Chains A and B, each alone.
Chain A
Amino acid sequence: MISIEGLTKIYRSETGDVVALKNVNLKVSAGEVFGIIGSSGAGKSTLIRCINLLEKPTKGQVKIEGKDITKLSNRELMKLRRSLGMIFQHFNLLMQKTVNENIAFPLQVANVPRKQINERVKELLELVGLIDKADYYPSQLSGGQKQRVAIARALANNPKVLLCDEATSALDPITSKSILALLKDINKRFGLTIVLITHQIEVIKEICDRVAVIEKGQIIETGNVVDVLMHPKTTSTKNLVSSGLIDKIPPDMVLWGRKQDYQRRLKVSFSGEAAMKPVISYMVMEYQVYANILFADINYLKDTMVGELVLELSGERNAVEQSIRFLREQDLVIEELG
């Protein structure tokens, strides 16, 4: 659907050049929710803005359905943009226009006949649950409601792709969740491809199918959300992903156990079906070891259940080692902690 090849963006200014993106390659498939995560200044906004050419790439190609859009004429570009909706962190609604007029705007821009506009606006208001706010002005709406208007507006011309630039960053966690749920719903119902950028791992966990991690203008990791989050390859990704809890278990924490016992500390990660099996209790009974759970967390990554467990196993050396071997044979990922 979207294919970015060798994309480089350099901002030139009197104080020197800023390389915002360096040789970025990405592929987004039709119908998926693709997340791009990175810390502040990593180049996320620049990257997503290159997809609809709000920012002109310095080098490289942006292909949409196989067509390199950096080569389009202005007129063609404007037409193309109608098939790419976009929403923003600060909503960017027309402040002097009502909710109705805001949603009608992209349709007027595309010269849709008035009667059709009215029908379409109604549909969209229903979709985002704002029928009763049709004649309100943005200044009379909450942040969440404003973003709903922005979503309706972005969907007006039935785009193939929705670009979201930090769409939930200005919202409180609960509102943020409801907006993500709406996006998820739209993605499912209309098969709309969604590309979103965020600095919040929760957003990735909540709705993304695939994720790319961007750092200093470069993509350092890409893959399925479950894979990248469960097995981050780089420290930067680890830092982004880690809930921070595991690191906070004090190493000298006094644990229950007998002096003579052999002890090993493990991190066990599991996803999907493995989450359902009573592996630990089986192991404890089978190998006669003590399993002390220092940390446990179960989460949903979109629709996949995943979990993490920090275990301290103690008992006879042999028994402990056998249990570890047993764990490794399961559908689990085992990592020894120092």
Chain B
Amino acid sequence: MTADVLIEYLEMLGQGTLETIYMTMASALFSYIFGLPLGVISVVSEPAGILPNPKLHNVLDKIINITRSIPFIILLIALLPLTRLIVGTTIGPTASIVPLTIAAIPFVARLVETALKEIDYGIIEAAQSMGATPWQIIRKVMIPETLPSLIMGASITTITLIGYSAMAGVCGGGGLGDLAIRYGYYRYEDDVMILTIILLVIIVQIIQSIGDYLSKRIDKKNK
């Protein structure tokens, strides 16, 4: 391998890494913008929740379940028209953000639900007994009290999105997955394949560590 080729590969891998991070972060952000409220609404609308609305709860529950059960690779292809409509193209990292976000929304909603349900219901009742409104309870009690779990959920989401983003490479979605498929799979260049794997593992580890650290750091309950 000549120096030129090496530099070219490194540039390529660097770019791939940045694209992966960009796709993942952007879709994590967007999926929380939709998934967080969805999860909150689903929890509070439970029959025993603070704003019971069993009908709404059932509808949300069904939607979340159905969308979660569609395999990502199929969702990716099925969403191509929507992606084109929103981004104008179906290839490249920006285009991948659309299916990634949509796949992650129900996932986030479920993680948010699970986290919020961890709260001791007595704490919510105490807040109610003080005359707190449902909105105050959501904002000042439910979310802050479960923040450590919510943060763990966010790191799980991000890691899952890294996996999905690699899959998006199949459709020319950019990022490290794209490289692995183009060089590792079609051109049998094992070293590129191995390097992408190493890079992905490193990124996942870093995110996991940050998530763990933050979650522990802010948790005042289990100290």
Interface residues of A (CB under 8 A from B): 52, 54, 77-82, 84-86, 88, 90, 92-97, 105-106, 108-110, 137-140, 150, 153-154, 157, 163
Contact = CB atoms under 8 A, between A and B. Distances in A.
A93 B131 contact: no
A139 B223 contact: yes
Contact of B144 (A94, A109, A137): A94
25 contacts: A81-B128, A84-B129, A85-B129, A85-B130, A86-B126, A88-B125, A92-B123, A94-B123, A95-B221, A96-B144, A96-B147, A96-B219, A96-B220, A97-B144, A97-B220, A105-B140, A108-B140, A109-B131, A109-B133, A109-B136, A137-B223, A138-B220, A139-B221, A139-B222, A150-B126
Interface in B143-158: 144-145, 147-148
Interface of B: 120, 122-123, 125-133, 136, 140-141, 144-145, 147-148, 218-223
Of all A-B residue pairs in the complex, the 4 with the closest CB atoms, nearest first, are A81-B131, A92-B126, A95-B221, A86-B129
A280 B148 CA distance: 68
B223 A92 contact: no
A92 B128 contact: no
For A90, A94, A153, the residue with the greatest tally of chain B CB atoms inside 10 Å of its CB is A94
Contact of B130 (A82, A93, A96): A82
A96 B145 contact: yes
Contacts of A88: 122, 125-126
Given A94-B141, A97-B144, A157-B130, 5 more contacts: A85-B130, A92-B122, A105-B130, A110-B131, A138-B220
Contacts of A95: 123, 145, 220-221
A94 B130 contact: no
Contacts of A84: 129
A233 B132 CA distance: 42
A154 B131 CA distance: 11
A336 to B, nearest CB: 49
Nearest to B143: A96
A93 B144 contact: no
Given A95-B145, A109-B136, A137 B220 contact: yes
A146 to B, nearest CB: 12
Given A94-B123, A94-B141, A96-B144, A52 B129 contact: yes
A80 B144 contact: no
A78 B131 contact: yes
B93 to A, nearest CB: 36
B221 to A, nearest CB: 4
Contacts of B223: 137, 139-140
A1 to B, nearest CB: 18
Nearest to B129: A86
Contacts of A81: 128-131
Contacts of B133: 78, 109
Given A88-B126, A109-B127, A96 B132 contact: no
Contacts of B123: 92-95
A96 B221 contact: yes
A54 B129 contact: yes
Contacts of B222: 139
Contacts of B128: 54, 81
A270 B85 CA distance: 90
Contacts of B120: 90, 92
A92 to B, nearest CB: 4
Contacts of A105: 127, 130, 140
A79 B133 CA distance: 10
Contact of B131 (A82, A97, A150): A82
